[in-house]
Amino acid sequence: METRLLGNTDMNITRIGLGTWSIGGGDNEYGWGPRDDEAAVATLLRALELGLNWIDTAAIYGLGHAERLVGRALSTWRGPRPYLFTKCGLVWDDWGRTAHNLKRESIRRECEASLERLCVETIDLYQIHWPAFPPGGSDRDIEEAWQTLVELKQSGKVRHIGVSNFSVAQMERVRAIAPISSLQPPYSALRREIERDILPYCQRHGIGVIVYSPLESGLLTGKMTYERIAALPANDWRRRNPDFQPPRLSRNLELVEILRGIARRHSCSVSEVAIAWTLQHPAVTGAIVGARRPEQIEESAPAADLRLTQADLAEIDAWHARATSA
C-alpha cells in the first residue's frame, strides 16, 4: 500500500488508517450504541493484515475503552507494530460527563493513562483533540497545552505532536511555540470548508493532514436509508445529528446516489469513492476510516489505490455547487 511522509515526522503512513471512535461504543453522549469487543479486536487485526500501518484513537472514545481495545489487539499481533496516534484534552468524571481540560497537569495525567491503556512506552503522535469544547468556546489554554505536548516529546513519552480541529489562527498561535507535525480536520465530499484556507496553510507550512470522517459516520457508505437511520439505537449519537435528519438527509442522500454512479463505473463500493475523493487533494496525507467489523475495513481499504477521473471529480463538484447555492 502506498505511503506518504506525515508532515515533519519520520513516519511514512499508509493513505488510510483505522479510526476507533465507533468501536469505543458506550452509553455516553458521544457513544455509538452497543459495542462488540470481539468484533472490534478482529477489525483492528484485519486492518493490520490488509497493510494499514497506523491506528487513530483518543482517550475519550468509549471513555478509554477504545484505547484498551487497541492495546488488547496489539498484544496478539505478531507483525510490525503500527503507528499509534491518540489525543488529549477531553476528560470525564465518574458519571461519564465530558469536560474540556487543556491544563498542563491534566494533559500529563491523560498521557500516562493512554500509555497504560495502549500498553506502550511511547505514543507516536499525540494530538490536542479540540482547541475549545464545545466548539466555539474559549481556546485560552491552547498555548499551555501545546507547551505541555512539547515537554512530553522532550521526555520521550511521545514522538511527535499534532493538533485536531484547529483553525489557521489557532495553528499560528501554537506554531510560535513549536512546529506542528500534523492537523486532523473533518473532510468529506459533503464537508469541504477546509479547502478555503486550512489545507493551503498546511501545504505552505509542511503540516501533514490526516482527515477524519471521510464517510461522514456512515452516511456516505451507500448503506444508510431513512429506515436504517430510524432504527439506530437510542444511545447512538447519530440520531441527534442534523445531517441524519430531514431536511439535510434528503440532500445528503442525493450525493450518495452520485457517488453510487461513480462506483458503478469503477466497479467498486460507494465507500471507496467517498474515501478516494478526500485522498485526491494534494494537501491530504491520509484519511482516517472507522470500522466496527472486519468486512467494513475490507470494503474501505482498497480506496487507497482508487484513482478518480476528472469527470468523476467534476460530477461531485457540480453537486456541491448546487447544494451550497440552494
d(CA 103, CA 101): 6
DSSP code at position 283: T
**Short-list 86, 84, 115, CA closest to 11:** 84
Number of other CB atoms surrounding residue 24 within 10 Å: 25
In this structure, the strands spanning 208-211 and 182-184 are parallel
Active site residue 61: yes
Answer whether 211's CB lies under 8 Å from 196's CB: no
3-state helix, strand, coil in the chain (%, to 5): 45, 15, 40
d(CA 104, CA 147): 8
Q: Give the H or E element holding residue 160.
A: strand 158-164
- Three cell numbers at 283? 494537501
Beta strands in 49-89 (DSSP E): 54-56, 83-88
Answer whether 86's CB lies under 8 Å from 24's CB: no
Torsion of CA 175, 171, 216, 136, to 10 degrees: 140
Amino acid at 120: V
d(CA 134, CA 20): 21
Helix (H, G, I), strand (E, B) or coil at 82: coil
**Annotated catalytic residue within 61, 83, 187, 201:** 61
Amino acid at 20: T
As annotated, the active-site residues are 61
